[in-house]
Structures are given as structure tokens and as C-alpha cells.
Amino acid sequence: GRLVVLVSGSGTNLQALLDASADPSYGAQVVAVGADREGIEGLARASRSGVPTFVHKLGDYPSRQEWDAAIAEEIASYKPDLVVSAGFMKILGAPTLDAVPVLNTHPALLPSFPGAHGVRDALAHGVKVTGCTVMLADAGVDTGPIVAQEAVPVLPDDDEAELHERIKTVERRLLVDIVGRLAREGWTVSGRIVRIGNPSG
Ligand code: GRF
């Protein structure tokens, strides 16, 4: 399967997908990497792997609608089977969501702690267990059907960075596993339930 991966930062989830897809039996390859900003490590990782990149900055467009249309058109030009939003810090609009399935990762156990500060919010709340979630994106913020989750312990003296790194170690493994299985086995969605296997058409 053809993957377009969207990043906004370090791109370690992207790197995990690049590494996994080096094995032809993985069943998916990263055909392009997109970002909403320049100069991030995620774009450098793509370039080092010889993967085409593109950047669409919201500020370059007169409206959100025009940004949505431009990034959707660019994504579509790569004919992806799946878009993976891995640390991409923008909500994708209908032009993208209506054209291609989007898988998103979140460093908390949704529906707990959605949004841009899931790790910080979980830590501040004093939870003893948090985790990560892989879900199909919908038009909301971290509200789509959940595909996979895994719990991660919070240690007494964790700070946000330590906890996030522990989560990301699990998140990268979960994302690589799920993307590979979706690519090889297909999936169906009924309501809130995502079933892997029985490829949908
Ligand atoms: C990941 O934990 C992702 O869930 C969150 O930001 C982090 C991105 O990490 N939204 P990276 O850019 O893949 O290293």
C-alpha cells in the first residue's frame, strides 16, 4: 500500500515507518511526506530516505479552506491508499478526509486527554497509567474510531519529556504494526468499530 505520512516535528513515528517499509514483506511504502512547516527533522528524515516531501503553511493561504484544498490536492497527487498523520499538528479538513482514509496517533488513551497536550494533561491529572491510541481521523480533534491502544505506566518522578518518550516507544511499535496489518489485510469500519481484515472494496 501507498502511504503519505504527515509530520510537524521530529518525525520518529515517520522514521519507524520508513525503517519498517524497507522490508518488502511489510506491505506498505512511504511515497511522500508532508508537513505544515519548514525546517523540521521529519522532513530531513524523508529526504535522507529519498522520499519526496511537500510543505503547506497555513499562513501562505488566504483562508483555511484554501489550505485544506491545497494539501488535499497535493496528497491526492501521490495516489495514497492511506494517509498517516504522525505528530501532524493540524486538523485535516473534508477535502482530505473525504478522499482517503487517515490514520492518526495520539499519545494518550482516548477519549481521555485529547488535543495538543495529551501527555502534559495526563501527567497533571495524576493518572498512574496512560498510553497511546491509533485511530481513524474524522473531522473532530482526536474523535475518530479507535483502531488500537496500548497502556503505558506513569512513574512517580516522570516529567513530560520522560513520559512522552516512554509513550512514543510504544506508539511507534503500535503504529508500525497497525499500518502493516491494514496494508496487508485491509479493514472495515462499522460505526465506531474498526475491524482489520475483510478488505473493504
Ligand atoms: C507523537 O507522540 C504524536 O502522537 C504526537 O506528537 C508526537 C510526534 O512525535 N502528536 P514524532 O514527530 O513522530 O517524533
Residue 10's CB is within 10 A of a number of other CB atoms, namely 15
Give distance in angstroms: CA of 195 to centre of ligand 1.
Answer: 25
User: pLDDT averaged over the chain?
Assistant: 96
What residues are labeled active site? Answer: 106
What are the tens digits of pLDDT across the range 150-191? Answer: 999 999 999 999 999 999 999 999 999 999 999 999 988 888
171, 174, 175, best to mutate for ligand 1 pocket (most atoms within 8 Å of CB): 171
- Ligand 1 shell residues, CB under 6 Å: 7, 9-14, 42, 86-87, 105-107, 168, 171
Question: ipTM of this model?
Answer: 0.95
Strand order in the sheet with 129-136: 53-55, 29-35, 2-7, 82-85, 102-106, 129-136, 146-153
pLDDT (0 to 100) of residue 176: 98
Binding residues, by number, are 11-13, 64, 89-92, 104
In whole angstroms, what is the distance from residue 137 CA to residue 97 CA? 8
| H or E, element range at 14 | helix 12-21
What are the tens digits of pLDDT across the range 83-137? Answer: 999 999 999 999 999 999 999 999 999 999 999 999 999 999 999 999 999 999 9
- Least Cα distance to 98 among 109, 117, 83, 86 occurs for 83
